[in-house]
Every structure is written in C-alpha cells, then in structure tokens.
Amino acid sequence: MNLKNADILSARQFNRGDIEAILKMAGKMEVFSSKKKWGDLLKGKLMASLFYEPSTRTRLSFETAMQRLGGNVISVVGAQFSSLSKGETLYDTGKTIENFADVMVIRHPKDGAAEELAAGANVPVINAGDGSSEHPTQALLDIYTMQKELGKLDGKTIVMVGDLKYGRTVHSLSCLLSHFDVQMIFVSPSELKMPGNNLRVLKEKNVSYKETTNLAEAMKWADVLYMTRIQQERFTDQKEYEKHKNAYILDRELVEKKCPKAIIMHPLPRIWEIQKDVDDVPGAAYFKQVRNGVTIRMALLAMVLGKNP
Amino acid sequence: MNLKNADILSARQFNRGDIEAILKMAGKMEVFSSKKKWGDLLKGKLMASLFYEPSTRTRLSFETAMQRLGGNVISVVGAQFSSLSKGETLYDTGKTIENFADVMVIRHPKDGAAEELAAGANVPVINAGDGSSEHPTQALLDIYTMQKELGKLDGKTIVMVGDLKYGRTVHSLSCLLSHFDVQMIFVSPSELKMPGNNLRVLKEKNVSYKETTNLAEAMKWADVLYMTRIQQERFTDQKEYEKHKNAYILDRELVEKKCPKAIIMHPLPRIWEIQKDVDDVPGAAYFKQVRNGVTIRMALLAMVLGKNP
Amino acid sequence: MNLKNADILSARQFNRGDIEAILKMAGKMEVFSSKKKWGDLLKGKLMASLFYEPSTRTRLSFETAMQRLGGNVISVVGAQFSSLSKGETLYDTGKTIENFADVMVIRHPKDGAAEELAAGANVPVINAGDGSSEHPTQALLDIYTMQKELGKLDGKTIVMVGDLKYGRTVHSLSCLLSHFDVQMIFVSPSELKMPGNNLRVLKEKNVSYKETTNLAEAMKWADVLYMTRIQQERFTDQKEYEKHKNAYILDRELVEKKCPKAIIMHPLPRIWEIQKDVDDVPGAAYFKQVRNGVTIRMALLAMVLGKNP
C-alpha cells in the first residue's frame, strides 16, 4: 500500500494489509515518540490543524507528532473559525488552505466534513473526528496499542464497554478489528447498544461477537477491556441508568478478581468509570494509548507526505 | 526604496516605485510560496500575530509566510486578548511585545489601531486590517495577482463590483491602482457606491473611472472583474436589494458570454456571488490570490526585517 | 542547586543560594533575550503552554523564551480546554500531556493547580500563576530586574504600593526578598494591606518592614518603587477609595520631587497608576521587566531541562 498523497477519512478505507503497513511504519517512529530522538523527516512540511471543535488532546497529539518529526504547524481552533467559514463551504476552505499547508488535519462536528474538505483540497486530508461518524486515527492507535501489549491480535477477545451507540471510537475500532481473527463482546445498557449497521458488517465478515449488559461476566473472557464513558443524559429511562451506573465502574479489586491479565484501555478523558487505583494494575494501558497516538500520527503524516525514515 | 525597519500601515504610503519594488521582491519569493523550497531567510526572527479579530485567512497567510522562510511565530487571537489589553493602551502593548518579537502583525476592529501600536513599538508593525479603514497587504496581493495574470497593469480596465462603500479591500486597491495608467469601473447599488473621498483621490490624479449599477454592461470592458460580497442587511430599501441581488451573481454562462478573457478575482470568502461553475473558467483567479497573499507577505516580512534572498 | 527535572511551583521553594544560581544563569541568557543571537540550547525539546486563563503576556514570554532557545511549543488557551478537562483531573491531564511535552507551563485560576498537575506529570512543571496563590517566575524576574538596575539588593529599600492584599505578585516577591538584607515599606489603603501570614514570614526572618498609607512619605526612602493596580471594586468603603485613588498615582513631577533616583517597577498592565510622562524618567523599569521576564524564563527552562549554555 502506498498512502502518498492519500486522504485518511475513514476506518473503512483500510484492509488488513493496509493496517499492518501502518503499524509497521509506527514501529519505525517509536524512537521519535519516545523522545529519544528529534526527527527531521518532515522538515520543510507545514501541517494545518483545523479544529472546528476544540478536542485538545487530539490536536496536541497531531501537533506533537508533526513537530517531533521536524515539521511546522499552523493552527485554528473553535470560535476562531467564525471568519474563515462565514458561509464558506468546506470545499472553498480546502481550496484556500491548500495554498498554505502540505497536509490538513480536520476535526468537525458534522458527519462527512473531512470528505467535503478533501474534495476541495489537493493536499492530503486527515480526519481527526467528524460528528458521530468516524475517528480513524483513534482506532488505529487503539489497534496499535493492543498489538504492542498483546504481541498479536489474532485469537484474542476484545470486550468493549459503555456507550456503544454514540461512541464513534468504538464504531471505528470494531471496523478495524473485523479484519483480524478476534472475538468481540459488547457490554452496554440496552439503550446504548452497538448500532445495527456496525453489527451487520461483523456478520458479513463472519466475525464472532456477543452482546450483553453484564460487565463482570464479560470481563472473564477479556484479553482487552476497552472502557468508555456512559453519560446519564443519554437515558430516557433513569431506572436503566441507575441499574448500570455502578455496574460499569472498574476498580482495582474487580480487575484483580475478574481479569488480572487483561489490557485495560480507554480513549480518555476518564471520569469515574475507571477508578484511580486501577492506574497501577499491570494491564492499565490508557495513558500508553496517548503516547501510541503520537506514534501512529507520526506514521500517518509521514506516509501521506511520502516520507520513509 | 528601503523598507528596513519600516511600518506597513496604509496603502497610501506607497508610490509607484515602492509598489514595483515590492512586486519584484515577491517574484523572488515565488519559489518558497510554491512549496518548491523551504527558506531560511528569516531564521532567528520571531513574528507576533496579534489578531484582535479572528480573520483566520489573513493570520494563517502571515504565519505560513513567516514559517516557510524559516522564521518563528507567537500568536494571540480574539478573546485571548482580554488579559493583554485589559485597559492597556495599544502604545503599552507595543512597548511590551517588542521585547518578544522582531516584527508584529496586527488586525484590529478599530480604525487607526495599527498606527497606535506602531507608536509604542520599536520593531516594524504590519497592518493586517484595521476597522473599515485599511488592508494594505490585501491590496498589494491583488495588484500582484493582476500583474501576474495580465503581464502588466498599464492600459487595463478593472471593474470592481459589489459593496464598494464598506469594503476596505476596494478602498486600498483603488488607491494602489491610481499609480498606474488604468481605467476603473465601479459597479454597485446606489446605496453602496465608492465613497467620495476615494473618488476625489482618483480625480486629483486624473485616473479615468466610471460608476454604474449595471454589471452586465460593465463586464464587456473588463480585463479584471473584481467581485465582492454584498449583504442584504446593508440596505435600508429592500426593493433596491431585490433589484441587485441577482444582477450581481456571476455564473459560468454570464462570464463566457460577456468577458471570457477577463481575470476574475474576489478577496474571499465568496458565498453565492460567484457560482461554483465559474471555478473552472480560465480566468478564475480567486484561489490564486490566496497563494499570492503568502508570496506578498513573504516579501514584506523580508523587506521590513532587512533581508534579501 | 540542581534544578534538573525539578518543578517550579512556589517562591517558597528557593533559598538565597537558589535565587542567586537562577540569576546567574539568567545572566548567561542575556545574549539570547536581547535578540543578538538565536539559541539552540533547547533544540529537540517541546514545551506545553497550558493556560486555563488567558494571561497573554506571561504565555508569550514563555513561548518566546522557549523558541529563542531553539525549542518548540504546543499551546492551549482558555476555552479550548473544555474538551481536555471535561471532568478530567489535573492529575490525568499531567499523565496525558507528559506524552507530548518535555516541560509544562501552567496558568490556572485555582490555588494549588500547578501542584496537582505536577503530581501526575513525570516531566517538569512550571507554575505561571495559580489563583491568588503564587506567581514565582514573576517574582524572580522582579528580583532580577532590581539586581540589574541597582547592582545588588542588600542594603536597599523596596517600597511596594497598591493592592497588597490580593496581588499574588507582591506576595511571591516579598517572600523572595526576605532572603536578602533589605527593608520593605508596604503602602496601601487599610482595606488592602499585606496579609498577616506574609508579614509573619518577614518577622520570623527578622526582615525589617513598615506599613503605611502615605505614598509620598514612603517614596523618600525608596531605592525601588514597586507599583500595582488598585481597583475600585475592592473597597466596601467608597470614602476610603476616594481618599487613595489620587494619592497612589505616580506622575513625573512627583517622581522627580520625591525619588528621582529610584527604580520604578510595575508588573503590568498599568492603567492610570503610572502616568505616561513617567516613561522617560531614568529609573522607569517596567518595560525592562518584560524583557527580563524572557531572560528569567529562558534560565528556568534551561535549568529544569538540564541544559547549560
């Protein structure tokens, strides 16, 4: 696969070979994301950060990746866009910013925004999250984290927990995982189940999955326990919320009892759904995900800009 | 002309020789704005972006220019100023920021703001738009675009269309054009005509100009068709608005019929006043203006910092 | 003293030897903050600016210091934090951002915020102002300014004027000054006196100090006159305000009459409490403080990152 000049818009655009090529390139970037070395692979390249929503964590991750490889950054955040986009189409924004930058990263509240921008821009566009649709670079860093922590993905069981209905992270992740020989267990309140169209994709590919509301039971099978936040305001039935709010809280005791060897992940920020005493459990990997995010974004930026260390 | 250590505050500060010197320097910058090369002419220089109004397009243009020439940037946008300017005069802001930066770029909603800042600062100040007063770097990039597209300005006819009353762009542009042997045709609703003081300057210099409300008629004479947005809320008489709203919309058919060889320009963002099907007309130059903006700002930054490639 | 990997959280963490070591390092940084040279001491290092409150002056000072020494910057300001900190603890923020940056600078409205961040982060954290608690880098630049302007601090009289109750600047400054053989005179309305716990520290160290409401009288003794803003809204008794509002305004005539040789300082922004005609008095040092702020921050960044020019 050659990603040179390609857009990164959706997890659906990758096959297993693509994913493995990206993970391999990420491996080459480890030395730079570990801070052991400052790179110059992207020297002379300029990245535009276009964050129509703040999403500070993701923006800083991309800006760190770009700079640690020697590249430069221009950046626009939130309300600052008022002037840029005052009635302007994303197509026009693309045709404008391509005169400044060699690559664009966009975060936008609207589904499909990254695609619209890419239609106008003749430089690569990377989707850093559009609406509740896609967040492909998050899914790639999640896969990369699983592979690093477990050695390989095939044969493993991934348990995803929480708000599976609105969480774009788990949508993109289940899509990428469908290319591997894994089992998935989806744990959520019945009001927040994984959407039907995501499940359909798994069925078509004969991926083995189960749905349940019972976290403690599912944990026993977990090689990876992927937690997400569930929010009270998502529930129409507050009894349903009361039933689950404590069932979906992880503490050290529960982890040590049910899945002491599992890798524990979370896209962050975590509130109370992972208690602080879990941080020292050997499998806790949620802050490692942050560093792996820099590594993956280094790999993607290098690849779309046609650079190989 | 030597612009070293000079402020760039107004289109009125330049004579024809000055303008030609800037355009010539811009020519030397083409290689850097085309992304063919990354410069180091401004290495070791720091630019402060002081954008009291967002104006994202202009800010990114300056920051791109500075960085692509090897310089560094510090940046403040909009509401972030609350602390800097809490009752502080722009004079004091100038005396403060000069301790950080080698050059300052300011955008401000108040007429004359750039001049106040420059009074305090002992480093060069560049006006990136103050109130409805001036936007000299936009006018310079417009002139540069015309020269690149037409070869030369003398003998040409420039048709300016839309809101000529409030548009600071067309005010600064007509001022710069008055140094050349051109004809201007001003097309606007009668409520949005070019202000008297701008016309007076043209008369004094014996520049030939006409005023009309009829776009289709004016287009026949155009070597350059410079479109701007007109906004419904500017009109006290809504019948006047209804009369013009469609007359001042450019589509491909109209362009091919009336002025197939004209250069078509717009300061952007465009809304509906230039239909998207015009983008592929050979003379469409509005996105080229964006790139030329980077080139011109590279030239100005280099000149005020006393650097020559 | 070795500050490598240390956090800079409070003025209270330094003894006289520490302060002198920092001032000495600042001396080595003068060439870079004077713009005579661009450094590369911090090349390959990335600083995160985390400004939960705007505080533009301080942020630009740090970002200038970092960049002029060859380092890089990622930056978050004000409302952009909504996403980062949505319910997240500062501890988690620290564990997140340490994956991006080699050093963090934080400004936060809450007392103790820098310490919370430092508890999570395994890279150095510098407090750029937390609540009404501490602003140690401001106090260090103030001391550095006094030493530069007066040659030495021992034997000098420092007069602090204005809102001594709420001003975190004067709290941190009196703490640092207590390590030197100085006299302090505190001039304020009775409603805005230096808090008791600050005075207690001075008593314990046998530092000589006086309190008064009479500026003109105190000025006669001043080697340094340190002005701060007093705000009308701080007063419950408006008669008290009326009494002092004009007494605490400095103009050229007053300075020349009472303390023509004193150094005049202010943390900025100044409003009317120092009239503009004071700017040309030989002792006026408030804009020099801005440059010294860059110098001190260069020194601190280099020291916590373990670099020596």
User: For testing the chain C interface, which of A56, A277, A278 should be mutated: the one with the most C CBs within 10 Å?
Assistant: A56
The Cα-based distances of B139 to A205, B175, B196 in angstroms read 59, 9, 19
Backbone angles phi, psi at C123, to 5 degrees: -120, 160
- Identity of the residue in B46, B80, B83 whose CB atom sits nearest the CB atom of C64: B46
Residues of A with CB under 8 A from a CB of C: 35, 37-38, 53-57, 60-61, 63-64, 67-68, 77-79, 268-271, 276, 287, 290-291, 293-294
Is pLDDT above 60 for A123?
A: yes
**Are residues A53 and A122 located together in one domain of the fold?**
yes
Residues near C176 by Cβ (< 8 Å), separated by ≥ 6?
Answer: C11, C14, C19, C139, C140, C142, C143
**Are residues A206 and A108 located together in one domain of the fold?**
no
**Are residues C150 and C269 located together in one domain of the fold?**
yes
Interface contact B67-A74, CB threshold 8 A:
yes
In a domain, C4, yes or no: no
Interface contact C46-A68, CB threshold 8 A:
yes
Count CB atoms within 10 A of the CB of residue C212.
13
Interface contact A60-C80, CB threshold 8 A:
no
Chain A residues with CB under 8 Å of B296 CB are none
Q: Is C64 helix (H, G, I), strand (E, B) or coil?
A: helix
Count CB atoms within 10 A of the CB of residue A111.
13
Residue type, B21: A
Q: Which domain holds residue C223?
A: 136-289
- Identity of the residue in A81, A87, A92 whose CB atom sits nearest the CB atom of B56: A81
pTM: 0.96
**Are residues B129 and B150 located together in one domain of the fold?**
no
**Are residues B95 and B179 located together in one domain of the fold?**
no
For residue A137, which of A127, A152, A149, A122 has the smallest C-alpha distance? A127
Quote the ipTM score. Answer: 0.95
Neighbouring chains to B with at least 3 Cβ pairs closer than 8 Å: A, C
Chain C residues with CB under 8 Å of B71 CB are none
Interface contact A60-C97, CB threshold 8 A:
yes
- Identity of the residue in B92, B100, B102 whose CB atom sits nearest the CB atom of C60: B100
Backbone angles phi, psi at A187, to 5 degrees: -110, 115
Residue type, C222: A
Q: pLDDT at position A57, please?
A: 92
Backbone angles phi, psi at C274, to 5 degrees: -125, 115
Residues of B with CB under 8 A from a CB of A: 35, 38, 53-57, 60-61, 63-64, 67-68, 77-79, 268-271, 276, 287, 290-291, 293-294
Q: pLDDT at position B293, please?
A: 98
Residue in the block written with tokens 């050229």: C252
- Under 8 Å CB pairs connecting chains B and C tally to 64
Q: How confident is the model over A170-176, as a mean pLDDT?
A: 95
User: For testing the chain A interface, which of B40, B42, B64 should be mutated: the one with the most A CBs within 10 Å?
Assistant: B64
For residue C61, which of B126, B72, B79, B101 has the smallest C-alpha distance? B101
Residue in the block written with tokens 């952009």: C80
Q: Calculate how close chain B gets to A23, using CA atoms only, in Å.
A: 29
Query: What are the structure tokens assigned to C72, written together?
Result: 């890089």
Between CA B268 and CA B86 the distance in angstroms is 32
Interface contact B84-C291, CB threshold 8 A:
no
Q: How confident is the model over B160-173, as a mean pLDDT?
A: 91
Q: What is the DSSP letter of C192?
A: G
Q: Which helix (H) or strand (E) holds C108?
A: strand C103-108
**Are residues C115 and C150 located together in one domain of the fold?**
no
Q: What is the mean pLDDT of chain C?
A: 94
Which carries the bigger pLDDT value, residue C236 or residue A66? A66
Chain B residues with CB under 8 Å of A90 CB are none
- Identity of the residue in B43, B84, B92 whose CB atom sits nearest the CB atom of C270: B92
DSSP β-bridge partners for residue A157: A183
In a domain, B266, yes or no: yes
Q: pLDDT at position B79, please?
A: 63
For residue A135, which of A167, A164, A159 has the smallest C-alpha distance? A167
Between CA A138 and CA A296 the distance in angstroms is 9
Interface contact A100-B35, CB threshold 8 A:
no
Chain C residues with CB under 8 Å of B72 CB are 67
Between CA A284 and CA A274 the distance in angstroms is 10
Which residue in chain B is spatially nearest to A89 when comparing CA positions?
Answer: B271
- Let me know: does A268 contact C92? Beta carbons within 8 Å: yes
pLDDT in tens, A57-87: 999 999 999 999 999 999 998 766 665 556 7
Instruction: Taking each helix axis as running N to C, give the angle between helix B90-97 and helix C286-304, from 0 to 180 degrees, rounded to the nearest 10.
Output: 40
Percent of chain C with pLDDT over 90: 81
**Are residues A249 and A297 located together in one domain of the fold?**
no
In a domain, C89, yes or no: yes
Interface contact A57-C101, CB threshold 8 A:
no
**Are residues C177 and C202 located together in one domain of the fold?**
yes
- Identity of the residue in C46, C72, C84 whose CB atom sits nearest the CB atom of A57: C84
Is pLDDT above 80 for C134?
A: yes
Interface contact C294-B87, CB threshold 8 A:
no
Query: What are the structure tokens assigned to B239, written together?
Result: 């019948």
In a domain, C47, yes or no: yes
Which carries the bigger pLDDT value, residue C154 or residue B86? C154
The Cα-based distances of C82 to A56, A269, A309, C118, C145 in angstroms read 8, 11, 36, 20, 37
In a domain, C309, yes or no: no
Q: Calculate how close chain B gets to A151, using CA atoms only, in Å.
A: 41
Q: pLDDT at position B284, please?
A: 98
User: For testing the chain C interface, which of A34, A36, A57 should be mutated: the one with the most C CBs within 10 Å?
Assistant: A57
| Helices and strands (H, E) in chain A, number of each type | 12, 9
Is pLDDT above 90 for A95?
A: yes
In a domain, B6, yes or no: no
In a domain, C156, yes or no: yes
pLDDT band at residue B240 under the 50/70/90 scheme: confident
For residue B158, which of B182, B193, B180 has the smallest C-alpha distance? B182
- Identity of the residue in B79, B269, B294 whose CB atom sits nearest the CB atom of A88: B269
User: For testing the chain B interface, which of A67, A100, A103 should be mutated: the one with the most B CBs within 10 Å?
Assistant: A100
Query: What are the structure tokens assigned to C265, written together?
Result: 């300082």
Between CA A128 and CA A50 the distance in angstroms is 9
- Let me know: does C145 contact C265? Beta carbons within 8 Å: yes
For residue B46, which of C112, C69, C227 has the smallest C-alpha distance? C69
Is pLDDT above 70 for C172?
A: yes
pLDDT in tens, A209-221: 999 999 999 999 9
Neighbouring chains to C with at least 3 Cβ pairs closer than 8 Å: A, B
Between CA C238 and CA C27 the distance in angstroms is 46
Chain B residues with CB under 8 Å of A79 CB are 54, 78-79
Chain C residues with CB under 8 Å of A287 CB are 95-96, 99
CATH code, domain carrying C47: 3.40.50.1370
Chain B residues with CB under 8 Å of C61 CB are 100
**Are residues A279 and A297 located together in one domain of the fold?**
no
Is pLDDT above 80 for B100?
A: yes
Interface contact C76-A56, CB threshold 8 A:
yes
- Let me know: does A46 contact A74? Beta carbons within 8 Å: yes
The Cα-based distances of B107 to B5, B138, C58 in angstroms read 19, 12, 21
Q: pLDDT at position B139, please?
A: 97
| Angle at C148 (CA atoms; ends C32, C300), nearest 5 degrees | 50
Which carries the bigger pLDDT value, residue B85 or residue A98? A98
pLDDT in tens, A232-253: 777 788 888 888 777 899 999 9
Q: How confident is the model over C72-83, as a mean pLDDT?
A: 79
Interface contact B96-C290, CB threshold 8 A:
yes
Q: What strands, in cross-sheet order, belong to the sheet with B263-265?
A: B208-212, B183-187, B157-161, B224-227, B263-265
Q: pLDDT at position A86, please?
A: 66
Chain A residues with CB under 8 Å of C72 CB are 67
Which residue in chain B is spatially nearest to C74 when comparing CA positions?
Answer: B74
**Are residues B65 and B151 located together in one domain of the fold?**
no
For residue B216, which of B181, B251, B184 has the smallest C-alpha distance? B251
**Are residues C78 and C146 located together in one domain of the fold?**
no
Count: domains in chain A: 2
DSSP β-bridge partners for residue B224: B158, B263
Q: How confident is the model over C284-307, as a mean pLDDT?
A: 98
Chain C residues with CB under 8 Å of B76 CB are 56, 60
User: For testing the chain A interface, which of B38, B56, B270 should be mutated: the one with the most A CBs within 10 Å?
Assistant: B56
- Identity of the residue in B38, B56, B79 whose CB atom sits nearest the CB atom of A44: B38
- Let me know: does C79 contact A79? Beta carbons within 8 Å: yes
Between CA A121 and CA A98 the distance in angstroms is 6
- Let me know: does C270 contact C249? Beta carbons within 8 Å: no
For residue C124, which of C102, C107, C139, C100 has the smallest C-alpha distance? C102
Q: Calculate how close chain A gets to C14, using CA atoms only, in Å.
A: 30
pLDDT in tens, B41-85: 999 999 999 998 878 899 999 999 999 999 999 999 876 666 555
Q: What is the DSSP letter of C260?
A: T
Interface contact B56-A88, CB threshold 8 A:
no
Interface contact C96-A270, CB threshold 8 A:
no
| Angle at B100 (CA atoms; ends C222, B88), nearest 5 degrees | 60
Pairing mode, strands B46-51 and B103-108: parallel
Query: What are the structure tokens assigned to C232, written together?
Result: 């009308």
Between CA C102 and CA C99 the distance in angstroms is 8
User: For testing the chain A interface, which of B29, B33, B35, B43 should be mutated: the one with the most A CBs within 10 Å?
Assistant: B35
In a domain, C34, yes or no: yes
- Identity of the residue in A87, A88, A96 whose CB atom sits nearest the CB atom of B287: A96
How buried is residue C67: exposed, middle or buried, by Cβ count under 10 Å (0-12/13-18/19+)? buried
Percent of chain A with pLDDT over 90: 81
Q: How confident is the model over B7-20, as a mean pLDDT?
A: 96
**Are residues A237 and A300 located together in one domain of the fold?**
no
| Range in A23-32, A112-121, A179-188, B243-252 the model is least confident about | B243-252
Chain A residues with CB under 8 Å of C99 CB are 287, 290-291, 293-294
Q: pLDDT at position C303, please?
A: 98
Count CB atoms within 10 A of the CB of residue C188.
24
Chain C residues with CB under 8 Å of A270 CB are 88, 92
Residue type, A197: N
CA-CA-CA-CA torsion sign (B287, B162, B110, B85): negative
Q: Calculate how close chain A gets to B225, using CA atoms only, in Å.
A: 19
